[in-house]
Structure 1
């Protein structure tokens, strides 16, 4: 008998972020996307996953380099007056408003029991959208930032606390360890049966390795320079029926794990990724920006957001995965192929569109931009 208790408070060339087009990953991604959407839809029933737009003005009180070879820094954010911060659960993230006005999402990777500090970690991405560079270059101890949340689109549900699984297996790739680390701490404190694989190019590239190593033999650290590129079986050792798998990392890693889980009956998969997914089954279409009359061509393999950013670089966006609403715009004309996981039927009928993932079901959309 199971006793249920309330839950406690362009694709890379390899699994870790080196870029090169890889068409084979689109097949794997289709599996990962299905699983990801299922997890996110389930989350909408959980109060921890609801959108929370409260704004908190916080101060950077600590800054640490966590991985030199991949240029990862962690920031500890606290209230200026030292007051307790809103509670959160493993898997939660913050929307961080950077000094430039950019809005970016970062997983909370500290301890939920610490109500006086939120810890996030950011890897510098030289060719990215500028958010990571701004965190690294502009935020120092004493800097003030505004955050929204916390909110959770990747909740951890331990066995015996709402999950029917008997054990848990974690898979993290590089900076993908950030939401996984609080889950591991909770699993360890609750005394449940768990294991973990932490993968990266080398040990020097893995953030928070000292904290992960403290869990001893339950964690397998697997690096390319020592073991070669992993296959699915390397990331899922000992995973069998009644196991819940929590995976976070670049798209190729989450897709590889999803493909491996697909062949394992009785295994439950929850995943999150830190990069925009490649477009699957896309068709070219045209966008007209109603306020200026500009016309934008969207190729079959690129998102509407990417093409809009090319002419409107100040367009707001964050998750690029269809669940944070930051890039929402109003459709004035055209039929939408909605691919998000957050808009209600009423919001869609009212003309709302998330341009990071959704597309045109016909040939042309006119947007209120």
Structure 2
């Protein structure tokens, strides 16, 4: 059963700095000095910046450091207000509410990796490099951005990982070479939609893991009419019309569901599916996970069958 909404943690901004042109680095701590919850490479947190202003940011520090969480925030002029708030209003000493961490981009075991990062997509990749090194895996990083000045953590990467890292600003080197797929190599990629779309066209089945900060354009729904969701814990049956999401119907019935992005990218509203087939419309699950039909993100995904029985 999905957890009910919670207040999360109240953390203080212990450090604020410029990681690159247009990128702010924040280090968050518990005001009392208590350890923060554990996390693994690929995890992100929800940062509650105000009423109805919740944004997800990848943790890009060291998982072994339980005293601090590090995030980096790109200013997005065409965004919805989250990055502008962080850049213009959030200062050292301010307190923010945080939920998580959650991880839908976990580093899986492999003898070899290729990591590809575009712009701010370097953030979930950073701790993966350290973990891959500790595991004795072979790896290399290809890191692109608009300009060298816009690319965060370049000095840190070069100092810690040397020639395993290739930094290729687009204005100097053009587009990244994405022909990186070899046997026994797992490719992890995070960045803007154009980069992810391009590498997915080249990827081999099972060899690619991507994380999207923006949702993919969904196909037409499998079912154009109403469908039903049954709540297994109570037997309640609710009807979902074409113009409302499962999440909205659940909330309207008083069911408490933790949610955040409402566009299928953050994973907050993940809900178990006990019976039925799901019309997956998220940007998180891979083909095998979709085929299992045992989980769904109720903010965007719908039913492929007449009824879904949910673990609620």
TM-score > 0.5 by shorter chain: yes
**2:72 and 2:106 mapped to 1: Cα distance?**
18
Match for residue 119 of structure 1 among 67, 70, 76: 70
Match for residue 220 of structure 1 among 137, 160, 166: 166
* Alignment CA distance shift 1:346-1:152 (3 Å): closer
Q: Is the CA contact 1:105–1:319 (under 8 Å) kept in the aligned structure 2?
A: no
Q: Is the CA contact 2:223–2:304 (under 8 Å) kept in the aligned structure 1?
A: no
Q: Is the CA contact 2:260–2:266 (under 8 Å) kept in the aligned structure 1?
A: no
SS in 2 for 1:240: coil
Residue 283 of structure 1 deviates from its aligned partner by 9.0
Matched, 1:104 2:55: yes
**2:188 and 2:121 mapped to 1: Cα distance?**
11
Q: Is the CA contact 2:221–2:279 (under 8 Å) kept in the aligned structure 1?
A: no
**2:186 and 2:294 mapped to 1: Cα distance?**
33
Unmatched tracts of structure 1, length 5 or more? 1-49, 158-162, 288-296, 306-315, 329-335, 363-369
**2:260 and 2:182 mapped to 1: Cα distance?**
38
* Alignment CA distance shift 1:176-1:63 (3 Å): same
Tell me the TM-score normalised to structure 2 length: 0.73
Aligned residues: CA RMSD = 3.5
**2:96 and 2:71 mapped to 1: Cα distance?**
13
Tell me the residue number matched to 1:143: 94
Tell me the residue number matched to 1:354: 298
SS in 2 for 1:232: coil
Matched, 1:279 2:226: no
**1:80 and 1:191 mapped to 2: Cα distance?**
36
Unmatched tracts of structure 2, length 5 or more? 227-241, 247-258, 272-277, 306-312
Residue 124 of structure 1 deviates from its aligned partner by 1.1
SS in 1 for 2:91: coil
Q: Is the CA contact 1:51–1:151 (under 8 Å) kept in the aligned structure 2?
A: no
SS in 2 for 1:98: strand
Tell me the TM-score normalised to structure 1 length: 0.63
After superposition, where does 1:28-39 map in structure 2 within 5 Å? none
Tell me the residue number matched to 2:112: 167
- Larger % of strand: which? 2
Matched, 1:320 2:259: no
Residue 268 of structure 1 deviates from its aligned partner by 1.7
Tell me the residue number matched to 2:38: 87
* Alignment CA distance shift 1:100-1:140 (3 Å): farther
* Alignment CA distance shift 1:51-1:229 (3 Å): farther
Q: Is the CA contact 2:8–2:99 (under 8 Å) kept in the aligned structure 1?
A: yes
Q: Is the CA contact 1:285–1:360 (under 8 Å) kept in the aligned structure 2?
A: no
Alignment length (residue pairs): 265
After superposition, where does 1:276-315 map in structure 2 within 5 Å? 276-281=215-220
